[in-house]
Amino acid sequence: MAERRVTIGWPEGLHARPASVFVRAATAVGVPVTIAKEGGNPVNAASMLALLGLGAQGGDAVILASEAEGADEALDRLAKLVQEGLDELPAA
């Protein structure tokens, strides 16, 4: 299983607009990805409701994971998005 541990770069955390950006990006990478707060249970990264349920704040550590083929590239892109608090998924 591929994993990336990253710190949330959006000051407001994964709420409202940043959560929407992340869910669209998680869907766009084309592989199933989970996200979990450090020490918490993983949830589907492409689910807005599940993501908001994490209650992840700016500066919190999260773990992105996937077992799918192509997971390393997908997780690298999502990790960059989260860590840098970007407004869109970085180019491949």
Q: Are 62 and 38 in contact (CB under 8 A)?
A: yes
Which residues touch 17 (CB under 8 Å, ≥6 apart)? none
Q: Using alpha carbons only, give the angle 56, 59, 64 rounded to the nearest 5 degrees.
A: 60
**Of 2, 3, 9, 15, which is the active-site residue?**
15
Told to judge if 15 belongs to the known catalytic residues of this protein, a careful annotator would answer: yes
Query: What are the catalytic residues?
Result: 15
